[in-house]
């Protein structure tokens, strides 16, 4: 049953990831991969909030592992960083690593704290 919940969450998270990335790319014409940054930070905050709130097993499987797992993307983050390096955009590549990792971790901690405050 848990695998089914993960699949359901992933079926929602994957298209959400694609749509958010495309919407951000259309709105902001930038060499910096803002779409990936947005989905990774939002997904990290949501997962942190679920854990901070003490979400039950089925909610963590569906929203945490399934939705957040499909929404966030480390492989695209890695690919985009390598692409920036190959294009000679070293400062953008470094910024992508520093900002992406720092912002995602901060969002996870903030989400966890908010989850504890809202659902004590």
Measure CA 72 to chain center.
Answer: 3
Annotated binding residue at 69? yes
Locus of tokens 């989400």: 111
73 is in an annotated binding site: no
> SS3 for 87?
coil
- Residue 29, φ and ψ in degrees, nearest 5: -80, 100
Output the known binding site for Na(+): 69, 72
Q: Give binding residues as ranges.
A: 69, 72
């Amino acid at each position: 049953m848990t695998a089914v919940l993960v699949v359901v969450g992933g079926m929602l998270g994957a298209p959400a990831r694609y749509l958010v990335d495309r919407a951000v790319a259309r709105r902001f014409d930038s060499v910096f991969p803002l779409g990936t940054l947005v989905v990774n930070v939002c997904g990290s905050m949501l997962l942190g909030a679920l854990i901070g709130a003490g979400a039950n097993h089925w909610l963590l499987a569906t929203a945490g592992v399934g939705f957040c797992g499909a929404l966030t993307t480390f492989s695209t983050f890695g690919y985009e960083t390598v692409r920036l390096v190959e294009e000679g955009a070293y400062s953008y590549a470094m910024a992508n690593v520093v900002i992406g990792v720092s912002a995602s971790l901060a969002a996870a901690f903030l989400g966890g704290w908010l989850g504890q405050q809202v659902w004590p």
